[in-house]
């Protein structure tokens, strides 16, 4: 991955630049909402990317509970960290979009509330990983991650089965989306996925190196204590 990092970084930069141009300039202007609708190209892909990362966290947590291996634990940690970042983008861009369209920054709508709960669960997960020094922390975190993952389908399907303030889905839910808008939406998602992969791979290597240093220091302390 070290050799491929510059290439991935360059590809990610190009994708993000192209996606920015397509979202802010090339994409057609929505007739009802106008230019404020363009935040859609960041709000939705951020949500999809966060959901995917939380799914990876869920799978890695299950694997850790079965195997108790360090690799799956690190994957779970890294995917949760980056997933929280993208989920934060969702919670920030949502109110910015809602203010001119709904006339309010926030409402305790079902989807909005469930998304906030999802964010709080994974922030709690990261706080547990950061500040707990117990040897059982990875185990407790894995259980919490599995619990948190149950909220992801609730967030996604909330507007399918319940009437909410949030707009109905435009893809796969009976809605419609201009093909040019769909193209820009998917391009932005690919760019975000590339960014997420870049950050996750870098963070993974850093976490592996940090744990190796911690283990070396622990062994050194034991050797010094036995002298």
Provide the whole-model pTM. Answer: 0.89
Whole-angstrom distance, CA of residue 80 vs CA of residue 194: 16
Q: Say whether 87 sits in a helix, a strand or coil.
A: helix
The rounded percent of the chain whose pLDDT value lies above 90 is 52
Tell me the mean pLDDT in the region 168-175: 55
Is pLDDT at 171 greater than 60 in this prediction? no
Better pLDDT: 52 or 112: 52
Is pLDDT at 175 greater than 70 in this prediction? no
Where does the pLDDT of residue 222 fall: very low under 50, low under 70, confident under 90, or very high at 90 and above? confident
Whole-angstrom distance, CA of residue 70 vs CA of residue 202: 17
Q: Residue 220, Cα to own-chain centre: how many angstroms? A: 37
Q: Are 100 and 36 in contact (CB under 8 A)?
A: yes
For residue 202, the model assigns a pLDDT of 93
Closest by CA to 186, choosing from 202, 170, 200, is: 170
Please write the tens of the pLDDT for every residue from 68-94.
999 999 999 999 999 999 999 999 998
For residue 36, the model assigns a pLDDT of 87
Q: Are 123 and 84 in contact (CB under 8 A)?
A: yes
The residues spanned by each domain of the chain are: 5-27+39-169+176-214
Better pLDDT: 173 or 40: 40
């Amino acid at each position: 991955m070290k050799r491929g990092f510059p290439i991935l970084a360059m590809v990610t930069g190009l994708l993000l630049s192209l996606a920015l141009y397509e979202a802010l300039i090339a994409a057609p202007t929505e007739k009802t909402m106008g230019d404020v609708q363009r935040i859609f190209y960041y709000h939705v892909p951020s949500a999809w990317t966060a959901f995917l990362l939380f799914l990876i966290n869920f799978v890695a947590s299950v694997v850790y509970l079965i195997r108790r291996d360090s690799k799956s634990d690190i994957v779970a940690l890294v995917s949760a960290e980056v997933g929280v970042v993208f989920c934060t983008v969702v919670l920030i861009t949502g109110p910015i979009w809602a203010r001119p369209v709904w006339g309010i920054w926030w409402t305790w709508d079902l989807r909005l509330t469930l998304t906030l709960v999802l964010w709080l669960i994974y922030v709690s997960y990261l706080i547990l990983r950061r500040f707990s020094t117990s040897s059982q922390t990875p185990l407790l975190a894995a259980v919490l991650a599995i619990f948190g993952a149950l909220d992801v389908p609730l967030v996604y399907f909330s507007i399918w089965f319940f009437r909410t303030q949030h707009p109905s889905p435009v893809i796969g839910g009976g809605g419609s989306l201009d093909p040019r808008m769909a193209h820009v939406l998917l391009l932005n998602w690919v760019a975000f996925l590339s960014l997420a992969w870049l950050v996750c791979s870098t963070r993974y290597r850093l976490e592996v190196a940090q744990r190796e240093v911690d283990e070396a220091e622990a062994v050194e302390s034991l050797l010094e204590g036995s002298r």
